[in-house]
Structure 1
Amino acid sequence: MSISAQSGLDPSATLPDQTMEDESTTHASRRDRSIKLAVVTSFLSKGGTILLQFLAIPIAVRVMGREEFGVYSSVSLALSTVALLEIGIGPALAHGLSKANAADDKLGRRELSSTAFFMMVGLALLAGALLATVLSSLPLTTLFGDKFGGLDSAMRPALWLGLVLFLLLFVLNLTDRIREGLLEVAATNTWGAVGNVLAAAAVAIGVGVFKIKEVWFLVLAIHGAVVVAKLGNTIGLWTKYRDLIPSIRHVRRSVARHLFGDGLAFSTCCLLVGVVEYNVCGWMVGHELGPSMVALYGVFVSLTINQLGFVIMLSTPTWPAVAEAIARNDLPWARKAAKKLYLYGSVFALCSAAGLVLVGPWALELWLGESFSNISRGMLAAYGFYVIAHIWRHLNHALTIGVGKVTRLARVQLIETFILAIAAWAALRYGGVGPMLFAMGVTILAVTGWILPRLVRKELSQESAASGD
């Protein structure tokens, strides 16, 4: 007789716990692997970004001139509003896919992807109709300010072409959200690198070699290349996962209500963040100081996006993985991932701000030419402070989404954005761009920078207590 039998123990009694432990370890390893692969492929994407931002864009500035490039910046900032409209369903879609994958529910995955796709098509058509009405009925001086008078022939073609491209991005960006839910951010990063390389090549050849100085061409070269890459990513997704190909038969009203409800809350707050900090503030700078300062503000926006990109390369695969870990009740892994993300992002933000102050004036002149040689360290210090606040807010956004508190996030962000808009306007009007950036940073740290970390810590602590960890 075996020892276990003599002791009255059933050997099979430990098998379910052992199986669950092995399964948990397997899923944890998959999440770790997905994050590492996403980070590695992010460097590929960053390589394409470097080609575009630090080689191709300076060529465009030198050939077209600072004011003409400022016109392009104004067009891009205005049309980026369209892209912001689609991000709302991302958290709800990723959480839904995480739960469906945890339950091996392929029908649920297809209903989510199909419903989301046709929602995006409908919203794109609606957004396109509204923006087309605005562009066709209002003069550019009303939209961008009196200092843009006489630029109609340069801006109109660029705006109409950009509108078409951004509406395509509106729908194709959904693939990125689905990849996040499937923990396949690496595929999105790879295609992003392809898009950046194509854009850099188009700008370098079209503007640098053939001296095409039209604003519409710069819009086509940069944003058209991104559309091509997004299309490739979408085809790759549908080829790999046939069940995710959109089908009108799998559209569900209940799924649409869920996606729209969570999405409306999140997209409202994030739309306002982008509109206020990029579009409205850029518009205010144009009204107060003209195209030349819009060009500088556009450079700051590009730098912000590029710097944030080094944090996004970790946060983008981390928050869906945190959501999936919670869906599988693997809470220790979620807490560990959150701590790593906070640490990495905070250290990067501080180092980035210090670098801006120390070498910023020299680097900007080397990068963009003599027309950007008069940027003071005081201006860059104010911008660096804003970058720290911006990155800190992003970290808290990502983890608040990961723990599933999207509606609470939206409420807090709406309050912050309202206060920030007033503070930015007052600081710009009475101090200039530097004080405006500093006031924006102070507002961010005082609202989301204080409230959201406490919310994330509270939610993870509650989960810990509930799990007995």
Structure 2
Amino acid sequence: MPGRWRRILAVGATTVGARGISLLVSLLTLPVVGRCLEAEQFGLWLNLTSTFTMLSVLDFGVGLAVMGQVSEARGSGDPASTRRVVTTALVLLTGTAVLLLLALFGLLAFTVDWSDLLGAEGVPADVVGQLVLAVGAVAALSLPLTVAGRVYYALERGHVTALCTSVGVLAQAAGLLAVAGLAPDLRWFTAVYLLTPLLSGAALTLLLARSVRGARPRLCHVDRATCGRLGREGAQLFLLTAMGIVSLKSDSLVVGHYLGADRVSALVLPFTVYALVPTVAGAFLTPLWASYREAWARGDQAWVRSAYLRSVGLSTAAGAVAASVLVPITPWLLRVWAGDDAAAVPFGLLMALGGYVVIMCATTAIAAFLNGAGELRPQLAVGAVMTVANVAASVWSVRRLGLSGPLWSTVVTQTLLVLVPSMLIAHRRLARPRAVVPDALRTAA
């Protein structure tokens, strides 16, 4: 349907714009922070902030379940279901944040030797513990604030989320530059990085409550059955997201632990450049995921098949073209961005980064279809195997291949244990078209 594609492209384009602003801000602020901090402190800051970026969207899968279920309600013409889903999700995540995560992260911050685990022995242990606690606490407070953004995507109004995110990123950049000029300190840099997205998420939540009447939360709309649906589907999506984070985050953690925190930036800085490609692809695939769910609910299976083939082909081709351009110019980009020291990238790492881009673009496109079609359990199976294999391979390879070893492990395990099986699962799903009933929503007879 041309109208559906126009909406997907419009939301994707605005999301790309927002992520482009975020990337530009990173390109401008990372070198500034790096010059203000010692190498070990900068490596620790990169590990903490990248971990927070991942944790801040790790809402136990409830946000993604909200996006899917609101999209399904739209396709089924059931506005009452939308109100129940939004309200129940907000109450569920607020309770989780207050009663579980704050206490859990507070305990971990003072019972684990984070200085040793993160390879930052040169930073006082109490400072590292405070920073870890801050990351965990703010990530917990951010949990209910993820709902609004997902609802806007389900309503095909993701441009609102993109605009609010852009404002938050610009405020974050201004804060980091102010700290660099007035009081350059590891703790102040971390505080600014954590608080600005928290305020941005709160503003978006208030905007949803005021501007979208059908999604306005009311306690009377809290529903036990909806809570069960969100919990079941969200748990599976959470496990998928968590496994992906462990697989990707393990590379920098392994490098920091075995090679030292001062070597983390040598991996993270070039990785940040290459991450732009799957980020752009994901900007279009997120609204496509919601459209898959809506199309299944409407019974438009022909569009689903066409959209799947088109998205996988275009995503893979875009990844291949981008990788072929980035590999030869990466040293020059890093020299311009972060100085001569950052430009010394091993050739093996460049090739691994190129392979990572292609594999992740293809995998993300297939995963968007499988999520929209409700094929969560098969993804959990292949994801669990890949996560364990990737961590083990990263530990083994970093000792033999050095800096590029963990990323090569990610490329190989992602290809063999996720991409190939996911293609087979998608082919099987397309061969038996029927109305989608997500695994998480199926109940025993």
TM-score normalized by the length of structure 1: 0.86
Query: Residue in 1 aligned with 2:226?
Result: 255
Query: Relative to 1, partners in 2 of residues 1:91 and 1:229: Cα closer, same or farther, differing over 3 Å?
Result: closer
Question: Does 2:102 match 1:128?
Answer: yes
Per-residue CA deviations over 1:87-140 (Å, capped at 9, x if unaligned) read 512443233212322333222111111111111112223122111101022232
The count of aligned residue pairs is 435
Bigger mean CA deviation after superposition, 411-420 or 46-55 = 46-55
Which amino acid in the other structure matches residue 175 of structure 2?
A
Question: Does 2:77 match 1:104?
Answer: yes
Asked if structure 2 preserves the Cα contact closer than 8 Å seen for 1:42 and 1:186, the reply is: yes
Segments of 5+ residues of structure 2 without an aligned counterpart are 437-445
CA distance in 1, matches of 2:318, 2:106: 40
- Per-residue deviation, 1:154: 4.4
Query: Residue in 1 aligned with 2:428?
Result: 458
CA distance in 1, matches of 2:278, 2:272: 10
CA distance in 2, matches of 1:63, 1:128: 30
CA distance in 2, matches of 1:294, 1:445: 24
Query: Relative to 1, partners in 2 of residues 1:222 and 1:270: Cα closer, same or farther, differing over 3 Å?
Result: same
CA distance in 2, matches of 1:65, 1:120: 38
Segments of 5+ residues of structure 1 without an aligned counterpart are 1-27
- Per-residue deviation, 1:324: 0.6
Question: Does 2:263 match 1:299?
Answer: no
Query: Residue in 2 aligned with 1:310?
Result: 280
Structure-to-structure mapping, 1:180-329, within 5 angstroms = 180-207=153-180, 209-210=181-182, 212-278=183-249, 280-329=250-299
Which amino acid in the other structure matches residue 178 of structure 1?
V
Query: Relative to 1, partners in 2 of residues 1:84 and 1:148: Cα closer, same or farther, differing over 3 Å?
Result: farther
TM-score normalized by the length of structure 2: 0.90
Give the secondary structure class of the aligned counterpart of 1:437.
Answer: helix
Give the secondary structure class of the aligned counterpart of 1:286.
Answer: helix
Asked if structure 2 preserves the Cα contact closer than 8 Å seen for 1:100 and 1:109, the reply is: yes
Asked if structure 1 preserves the Cα contact closer than 8 Å seen for 2:65 and 2:237, the reply is: no
Query: Residue in 1 aligned with 2:417?
Result: 447
Asked if structure 1 preserves the Cα contact closer than 8 Å seen for 2:84 and 2:222, the reply is: yes
Which amino acid in the other structure matches residue 247 of structure 1?
R
Query: Relative to 1, partners in 2 of residues 1:368 and 1:232: Cα closer, same or farther, differing over 3 Å?
Result: same
Bigger mean CA deviation after superposition, 126-135 or 406-415 = 406-415
Give the secondary structure class of the aligned counterpart of 2:18.
Answer: helix
Question: Does 2:18 match 1:45?
Answer: yes
Query: Relative to 1, partners in 2 of residues 1:138 and 1:92: Cα closer, same or farther, differing over 3 Å?
Result: closer
Aligned-residue Cα RMSD (Å) equals 2.3
Give the secondary structure class of the aligned counterpart of 1:431.
Answer: helix
Query: Residue in 2 aligned with 1:74?
Result: 47
Asked if structure 1 preserves the Cα contact closer than 8 Å seen for 2:145 and 2:205, the reply is: yes
CA distance in 1, matches of 2:35, 2:314: 36
- Per-residue deviation, 1:407: 2.3
Per-residue CA deviations over 1:43-95 (Å, capped at 9, x if unaligned) read 43134224312212222222324332212012224445533531512443233
Which amino acid in the other structure matches residue 236 of structure 1?
L
CA distance in 2, matches of 1:352, 1:454: 26
Per-residue CA deviations over 1:191-221 (Å, capped at 9, x if unaligned) read 12212222222222321x32x3212222232
- Per-residue deviation, 1:149: 4.4
CA distance in 1, matches of 2:422, 2:114: 39
Asked if structure 2 preserves the Cα contact closer than 8 Å seen for 1:360 and 1:377, the reply is: no
Asked if structure 2 preserves the Cα contact closer than 8 Å seen for 1:31 and 1:183, the reply is: no
Asked if structure 1 preserves the Cα contact closer than 8 Å seen for 2:366 and 2:423, the reply is: yes
Query: Relative to 1, partners in 2 of residues 1:239 and 1:30: Cα closer, same or farther, differing over 3 Å?
Result: farther
- Per-residue deviation, 1:38: 0.9
Query: Aligned residues: percent identity?
Result: 21
